[in-house]
Amino acid sequence: MKIVLLASGAGSLARAVCQAQVANLQIAALISDKQCLALDVARDHEIPTHVVEMRNDRAEWSSELEAAVQKYSPDLVVSVGFMRILSSSFLKKFKTINTHPALLPLFPGAHAVRDALAADASVTGTTVHWVDEGVDTGPVIAQKEIAIHSGDDEASLHERIKIAERLLIVETLSHFASQGIPEITNG
């Protein structure tokens, strides 16, 4: 199974995938929308990298991103901390999964950990889901729960979630690599 990673940040998820050495998994490239530490993680693992910087013309950017990904003909695109919404054209061309630091459909969006704390939730977690045209609205593939402790702040909770998130994305990719990529389902 050949994948392309999309990342925008520090690269902890990308590092987990690269270091896992999943059988039957080839990481063809890591593509980012900006200069970030995730690019260094990929380079450290001798994985080709590309930066497709965001443009004022979003359609132009999306077209460039599609071309960069298509160059590798991936079986699956894996968003590991990529902080951009993908176009419907992109999603029609590439099966794409994402990780999210909450138990979707609860707490979608960029502030999931903060939102879980603000809601006084007792449990949150992480989700791997199919990417659709909404924001964190695609069908759930897998989830792991994380208890929220009374002394948690956003940083401490997010750190515990990230540990589970790294394990869950590797487990999901291992399953896909050994069993095949499932069809996208809504339930």
Is 100 in the active site?
yes
Cα-Cα-Cα-Cα torsion 57, 59, 63, 69, nearest 10 degrees, comes to: 90
DSSP 72: T
Contact between 97 and 141 (Cβ < 8 Å): yes
* Helix, strand, or coil (residue 144): strand
Contact between 154 and 113 (Cβ < 8 Å): yes
Provide, for the chain, the percentages of residues in helix, strand and coil under a 3-state DSSP scheme, each rounded to the nearest 5: 35, 20, 40
Contact between 113 and 101 (Cβ < 8 Å): yes
Tell me which of 50, 100, 129, 158 is the catalytic residue.
Answer: 100
Catalytic residue numbers read 100
